A and B are shown apart, each in its own frame.
Chain A
Amino acid sequence: MAETAAPKTSPETNLSLRTSPAAVLRAAFETGSVPGTVELSEITFLTMVGLRVARDTDAGQRIASVTGGLPATCGAVSGSGDTSVLWLGPEEFLVVAPLEAHESLGGDLIQALREALADGEGQVVDLSANRTTFELTGPRSRAVLEKGCSLDLHPREFKAGTALSTEIGNIPVVLWKTGEESFRIFPRASFAEFLGRWLLDAMREYASPEVP
């Protein structure tokens, strides 16, 4: 054992050693996407942090100053720059940030959040490996989601810039509408392959010309 050389840890080795939950579907996502109609891809290794803190406490306000605010109501998303905070519950939030924010790649977001919480009541938990991120874009993306989601996804109800916990294809996910025709879907890692294949199946009809 002593002879085994410890691998050098650097951001590059850390990243090269990782396999994303839907990596096996990367080629399928490319061939299954219908350019200009509906496209699916996996965004790998986003930094995600689970927060449990009350907004109106000192700790909540300290954390809000790190993240650029904490959302107050169901569906709301706050944050600043490339760091977003999604509302999951009255005292539960999900921070989503680029992969470089993770401490394994030299980032300091999670450490900053831990320091902001300090000994206040609450939790800061690194959940980056808990969920992966799917990006579904294109004019047919809403129609694809509507095949397996009971929320009212019509733009008059579900506005760009909101995120809701729900189920898609019976899989619990967080669904974040990032633009008028773009969604980010956060399934837990173990459900990623199933949901990826479910979405591919739901997208399939849009590859064929519409039957008049």
Chain B
Amino acid sequence: MLLISCPNCGSRDETEFHYGGQAHVAYPENPNELNDREWAEFLFYRDNTKGAFAERWLHSTGCRQWFNMLRDTVTYEIQAIYPMGAPRPDKAAPAPESGTASTAPDSTTTGTAAPSIAATSLATSTAPASTTAPEGATK
């Protein structure tokens, strides 16, 4: 049982919460221009991260508010809890210095979270899509 610290209510049992899947999956800017593969990737393809993973949670039997959580999928350690719409805290610091370099070193694990956001804007969709598609196909 996880003890989750709701930003509004404080520590409560995991059973009071609902899991909302991967965080920071932005809605496509031009949904009508996506092809079927891109639309399917937006809807269904999610990272399967080993390690720190940004995810959404809803305090469903408490304040009924959504929030984001950074949780280690191996140890279950909750590393951060932050509001909806806020940037992922462990990426926030390096990102402004060098946007592309910051995601490169850990792109094999958590770094895929960043490209998947970019994949939803069509301009940059081709490169990440071609790398994520084979991963998804093996599932």
Interface bits A88-102 vs B (CB < 8 Å: 1, else 0): 111010000000000
Q: How many A-B residue pairs have CB under 8 A?
A: 35
A166 touches B63 (CB 8 A): no
Instruction: Say yes or no: is B121 at the interface (Cβ < 8 Å to chain A).
Output: no
Q: Contact mask A150-177 → B, CB, 8 Å, 1/0?
A: 1100000000000011110000100000
Interface residues of B in 28-81 (CB under 8 A from A): 61-65
Chain B, interface SS category = loop
Asked if A74 is at the interface (CB within 8 A of a chain B CB), the reply is yes
CB of B8 within 8 A of CB of A165, answer no
Which bucket holds chain B's interface residue count? 10 to 19
Chain A interfacial residues counted at CB < 8 A: 12
Q: Which of A150, A165, A167 contacts B63 (CB 8 A)?
A: A165
B9 at the interface (CB under 8 A from A): yes
Q: Quick check: B15 and A172 within 8 Å, CB to CB?
A: no
Q: Is the CB of B16 within 8 A of A89?
A: no
B15 touches A74 (CB 8 A): no
Q: Can you list 18 A-B contacts with CB-CB less than 8 angstroms, sorted by A residue number?
A: A74-B10, A74-B62, A74-B63, A88-B63, A88-B64, A89-B62, A89-B65, A90-B65, A92-B63, A92-B64, A150-B13, A150-B15, A150-B16, A164-B9, A164-B62, A165-B62, A165-B63, A166-B16
| Across the A-B interface, the 6 shortest Cβ-Cβ residue pairs | A89-B63, A150-B13, A74-B9, A172-B61, A165-B62, A89-B64
Q: A residues bordering B, Cβ < 8 Å? A: 74, 88-90, 92, 150-151, 164-167, 172
Residues of B within 8 A of A (CB): 8-10, 12-13, 15-16, 61-65
